[in-house]
Each structure stands twice: as structure tokens, then as C-alpha cells.
Structure 1
Amino acid sequence: MRVVAAMSGGVDSAVAAARMLDAGHDVVGVHLALSQSAATLRESARGCCTIEDAGDARRVADVLGIPFYVWDMAERFRRDVVEDFTAEYARGRTPNPCLRCNEKIKFAALLDKAIALGFDAVATGHYAQVVEVPGVGGGVRRELHRAVDSAKDQSYVLGVLDAEQLARAFFPLGDTTKPQIREEAAERGFFVARKPDSHDICFIPDGDTRAWLGRALGEAPGDIVDTDGAVLGRHAGAFGYTVGQRKGLGLSRPAPDGQPRYVVEVRTDTNQVVVGTADLLGVDAITGDHARWCGPAPAGVVRVGAQVRAHGAEVPATAWADGDRVEVRLDERIRGVAPGQSVVLYEGTRVVGSATIASARLDRD
């Protein structure tokens, strides 16, 4: 099988490429250039996609003896990920750019180009597992499952893959822990074996999302108010806040009962940030749109596990699909669910699908 190995320049994608080669596939390494003005060097463990990262990926490809190319997808990334991220925050929502990147770049733009060039599949260094099961009417069907290493499991950010994309995706690291991957990389002679993991949002390498949004959207001063409308402070832009946020509010007046305050609503129409006590954050019902299914859509009401953050806890729930929308009823309340986040549904370790959260509310007292 001819396979494109997406190589970021990190240890995970390096070992993933090596394992695909060991499995007998015809492997070509590809590094995605996602920035129109890429930095030369990484800033410690923050960010990625620098010129240094591309060089690291090329050196691993040389060790493996596989062809290596850099594919320029900066314009597509800017349009489908960065601009989407900015627009979502401008609407008072809290997007997850990693899900959008997986959906629009790695398993749409990259996979489409690979197929157009005659490749059969794409392999990445994500921590997740693909399990083949008997299909209806014969053959096999591929399912997406959680990784063995629960601390590194990335099935949540892959919940946007549909069945056709999953059929052409490989995740060779899903059965291994991160320490084992680093050991394997060292044994293979990869100098990236001890390279720090990238984290935070790749296009905001300093990690200051609020400052980045301020530069992108411009300052828009407004009021921070309580649930009764009393002004408690000022902000430089409602887009810099998210539901559930406690730090960085800069309030001059404490709550009468001394309890901490949290962001409970972002009102972009009036440019207000509403704060309240923690009990106002609890929700047990979620409506999602932009549904994506890793296999057949659920038929009727089904029991699932629902996860609303990349490393959040899974909560027992019931769910049902209604066209492009999904309704989820949680068995227990959870806090800080913001529109724009994603809810990913599981059946055991299997990823059923995902949706973008349109609203969250408390249905039961």
C-alpha cells in the first residue's frame, strides 16, 4: 500500500512513519507547511510547524531512507483553521482548532491530495486505534477507538473523521505508551527521541490567546456584569473570554458572599461578559450541530459516553441524531460547557462521532 506519512518533525510522527515502513508499505514522508511566515526555530515546547521542525522531519526521513516532501498548505490552513478560529471567538464561541485542522487539513486537504497523486492512505502520529470488524454483507469495517495510553489518547480530536476518511487512515501508535515511543525512537537512532512535545495552539506559540485575538480583532472595550446587569468591571473585548473562565477577570468588586465568580455567558450583541457563581455553570443537556459520524449515524436514542474537552472526563449520556444536529442528555451535570466546543460520543472505547456544541443548558433541577 502506498502511504503518505504526515511528519511534523516530532517523535510521534517519526515513529509512526517508521512503523508503516516496517509493516511493508511504500512510504513517503510529507511535512505540511502551515504558516505563510514560519518561524525559524521553535519556542521551547510551544507551537510547531517551524522551519526547524521541517528540517527535523527531513532528517528522520533520511534515516529511514524514504522520499520526503514539504507540501504548502498555508493558505488552506489560514482559511479553514485560523480564520474559523477567529470568527468563532468573535461570535462569543470557544472553538477547538485541533479538531478543525484534523477535519479540514490532515484528513481532507492532505488525504485528498494524497489520493489524487495515487496514494492509498495517510498515516499520522496520533494516539488512537483503528479496529477492523466484520462489515454488513461481508468485508470489514474500520472503527476508531481510544488509544491504550489514556494520558495521550487523541481520539477526541479525531472524532470529526467520517467513515470514508477513516477507511484511509492509519494511527500506528495507538497500542503503545508515550515512554515506549521515546524508547523506540532512541533505539532507531532518531535524534528527536527526546524532543519536547508541542502543545497549545500551534499558530499562537506564546500561548496568549487573548492577546492574539486582540491583535486579530482589535480592542472592543465593554462591561463585565453580573447576572442582574450590575457593572463589575471592564474588558478589552468580549471575544477574550470563555464560559467557565475564572482567572483574568480583573474584577474590582468581590461577590457579596465572597464566592469566586466565573464567566457564565458571553454576549457579543451587547459586548458584555456575564459573570456568576459556580452553580450557574452546571448543564445536563447539549445541542450540537455539524454532526460527523465515524460510521453509521445512531438509529434512535442510544446510550453513549460524552466528552466535551480533549482531556476531560467521559460522562454517561443518551443521544440521538436529527439530521445534522445531535441532542445529548447527560446523566449528571458538568460545568463550563461553551458553545463552539465539541462533544464527542463514545460507545465503550469506540468513537461514534462528534458535533459542535450550539447550546448547553440545565434541563433537570
Structure 2
Amino acid sequence: MAINFKRTYKFAVKSALYITVFATGFVGILSHLIFQPNQEKLTLFLLIFAISLYIFSFLVIQYRVEFFIYRRVKKIYDDVSFLEASSFPKKHITTDMATLTREVKKFATDKKLEIETLKVREEYRREFLGNVSHELKTPLFTVQGYILTLLDGAMNDKTLRKKYLQRAEKGVERLTYIVNDLDMISKFEMGDLNLVMEEFNIVELVQNVFDLLEMEAEKKNIILSFDNKYSKSIMVLGDRGKIQQVVTNLIVNSIKYGKQDGYTEVGIEDLVNNKVIIRVKDNGEGIQKQHIPRLFERFFRVDKSGARAEGGSGLGLSIVKHIIEAHDEKIYVESQFGIGSEFSFTLEKIK
């Protein structure tokens, strides 16, 4: 990046003028006192002397100041790595210190912002690696423990062998689930998310998710239902598979954190500008206000111990957010601790 400073001669002009006035006056006084020359010849001499001295002083001062600033500023840039040496302008630069100060201040501000950004990213990277290792460690140790137990002799007991192999299988399933979610969210963040846009009935899609999760909800006697009877189809535009994953993740969360004998209710409402909003509401644990801004971060859990006991990768809501934003839509969350939560997102409606 080349630095274009405006060129100015103000400093050299003034400095040369001061030198010329002083030197000409000084020489004139000395000549008059010592030599007492002819007044006309003295005036002509002083005029020629002043012009010559002014031009010489101007050229020397301008060159020296430019050379001095160029060399010193270039060294500063090189030392602090503001610019690569190859990108520094190979020409005269300004003696206008206001311009120079403004440009250096701009570089300093940009670098400070860059450093702060890098610090945030580094902190995020450390937290992410810590979360990944923690999530993978639990199922890995579980699988390893059961396999070692079988190798130590439990394999000869048919009952224990079957039970431990089934538990090891669950650990492997959770590992696969976490790795698949990590792979998916990495593709999302790299922009490698190919949406297959199509028209589909959002009511039918939600009902399919209810059917898939019915047995899971029955374990806690949670009722899955619509808030109204939707007798007509509501056609929307989106990637059917991805939107089904969004609805599934939201309903799974409502079951996971729902109360025994509770409910999960889905509502679909018309909005302006050919939009619909899909609401997933429950009467579960609810979320404390300070945790809401971080809900969609990767691996963020409100209740870390309880959430891990329930299983899951900790990436569900982050995946939901990426899918909805890839559709250029919005996702919202409202929650009251101890009362329940409502997650909602918008989609384009087809008339």
C-alpha cells in the first residue's frame, strides 16, 4: 500500500527567507561599515547576494528536510512493520508534518484495532479448542473404558458383553454426532453451504418432526402440538432439508430442557412483506437474561453439567443460526427463567 502525502514547500520557503534576510542585512551592514562602498553598487551586490542565497538555502533546506523525514519515517515503518519495504513510496514525501502525523496516527489506529481483533480471535480459539477436547473426551473415555473392561475378562460373560458393547456403541454414536456437527458448522462458516431452494408446506414439515420426536417426548410426558389447527397448507420458500434440521434442533432442545409433563407448542403466523414466522414455545426451564446473548455460540451451555448429561454436541443452536442466516432470514429468542422459552424464525411465504 503506497502512502500518498501532499507535497509542501512552506517550511523551506520560510526558513530560506529568514536566512536570506538575516544574512543580507548582516553583510550589508558590515560592508557599509568596513568598506563604505558606492551605494548603488552595494544595493546591486546585496540584491544579487540575497537572490543567490535564497535559492541556495531553499534547495539545501528542502532537500535535507525531505531526505531526513524520508529516511527516519521509513525506518519507523520498517521497525514497527507498518509497511513492507517494497510498498514504501520510492519518491519524495512531504515536509507537511500535519499530513505526516495524520497518516501515522491512522496507521497506529488500524494496527491497534487489528491487534485487538487478533486477541479476541485467540481467546475464542482457546475456548473453542477447550470445548472440543472436553466434548470429545467424555465419549472417548466411555468407549475406552468399556472396551478395556471387556478385554480384561468381561467379554466371557455374555450378559456383560452385550451391555458394555451397547454402551460403547452409544459413545461412538455421540462421537459421530459431534464430528458431523463440527464438519457441518465448519462448512457453514467457510460459506460452503449450498441451499436447494424449493417450495414446501411448513405445516407438514413440522408435523413430520413431531412424528420423529414423539417417542423422545413421551419419555418426559411432553406434549408436542400446534397452537392452532392448520387445516390449509402454508407454502414457504427454502431448503426443506435444512429447515427441517432447524425445527428438529429447536424441538429437541425444548424436550431436553423441558419440564416433566410439560409441552412444546409450534405456531405459524403471517408477517408483512410475504413473510411467515415460525415459533417454538415451551414451558421448560427458561434461560437467564445474561445468557441469552451467547446462546448461539458454539458449545455454549447455560447449565454445563446438566446439558452434557442430556447429550448432544452443543452445536445445535449455532447450526440453526447459520442455516437461518444463509436464507437471509432472522432468528429470535425470548425467555423467562423458570417459566419457559420461545425461539422463532422467519421464512419467505409463497402466495
Q: Which has more radius of gyration?
A: 2
Q: Structure 2-normalised TM-score? A: 0.20
The two structures have a TM-score, normalised by structure 1, of 0.20
Greater length-normalized contact order (CA 8 Å, ≥ 6 residues apart):
1
Question: Greater share of helix residues, 1 or 2?
Answer: 2
